[in-house]
Structure 1
């Protein structure tokens, strides 16, 4: 009973305490809610970032594995291609070497004549030396001719100068400028003036009167205008072509209706050069294609006739170049002998 009495006495205080606590809880509810939301967002962000980093690591591992596999496959393909190219280059090099050996042997055996070629080269050397000597002689003759012409030109110029300066010739009473008394002898020009004759004057009174005759120095034209001797009269003033409104209407209309006369540049297409170049390239490509297949080991090529060159016919060799083999066989010398072969070099 005592406890119930104490409880009844404390009921007002309990109500106030309950009311105060509910008010504080109501006041702190918004703050606690925002704090809880912030804690949850931070935790969920940590979870998502951890998951994304996990996915990034796994994707990196997958890409690394795939790229490694792809790179090794590409490297194997590149190595295979490089090995194939190296092998083909080696085969081509060996084939070229074999063809070179075979063609050299074939030419030396069937076509080329070493001694005939040697005789031809010796004759060519002699011919070249002879031509060089002839050219040297011809150049010497030309040089002498040029020198002779230069001396003759200088002599003509001196004679012409002497004719023009003939009035400076010395006389018995008055020595000329080229015959100074202070010199031991006359000058070269003085001697030349004595040998030459004076140049005839075209302006002397006698020549002038012979040219004029009985006429006066001034001649009159038909119009009465005096002109100098030997001068042609002026041509008459031509009638000017009417211009502008003074022209005939028919002439103006014909000029307006005249057809155009385009130049060659206008008539030519703008792509004419490119078309001509393409046509030329196509013809060159078509003409250089050889349809005949090369057969080096066929009998037709072995028994074909050798086509001589330009220098095969020469007067310095007794045997035409390429007419005999390098090692010619003479079966007529082997009569009565069996199992022996005789080679003779031509």
Structure 2
């Protein structure tokens, strides 16, 4: 009993201490939690920064290696192009030198040869002299022909004037105006008038058919007079005017459609349509429905093999096992090849590899 009382007295301080420590711990719980969160956040940030730094270093190494590889690759291509351009320039320079030497030799020997040029100049002088003589003769001939034409025109004009004024010639009774009685002899104009034949005053027929108002028919090729001759007096009775009668008489022929159309126009049109259809169609064999075809059945390629139907793309192909198919010839393309594409990369040009 005494022990229990002693223990009870000793337990009360312990309980109070426990409660006091619990209360103090509860009071410090939030501060300790925030401190733990701060420590954890700092530690995690430290680890994240270290890992990020490690990733950055690794990515730098990868980028450095890759950029170095790409740079070396591009440099090799650039160096190859530069070497190619240098060789091309060198070849062009050598070709230019060869052309320069050959052209100089050719020009000195064949074009600017002194002796051949001297012979050419001498022959040119002879040819020019010949051309000058020919031109001089041609000029003299042209002047002679022009003078003859002018003299002929003057003679014709003088003759026409003399024939037109022949009535001014002198007669046995009345002297002409060009025959002065005070001169001992007649003038030149008087002599020319006397020796010139005058114009013939008889009118020649013009050859045109005269208008005949009583004609019943006129030829279509005959020129029509512009109008009928004037009528002194209109005939008595219900008659039309002469111009209206003439227009009706010369009215152009106006056939009907039946007369203009050919009798065999329909047959000709059908024949033309048949010919055009024969030209336009692609195949001459007429199309027949599948139910009325008279030909044997043509089996497919995959049904003629020994092993039956082979699915496409699973085991065999025509190129690999050509002995299993009927035709051993390679498959033909739809269009012929283009020759210019076969010459690609066969030659070189400036700045290309």
Instruction: Please give the TM-score of this superposition, normalised by the length of structure 2.
Output: 0.35
Higher normalized helix content (fraction of residues): 1
Structure of larger gyration radius: 2
Higher relative contact order (CA 8 A, sep 6+): 1
Q: Normalization by structure 1: what TM-score?
A: 0.35
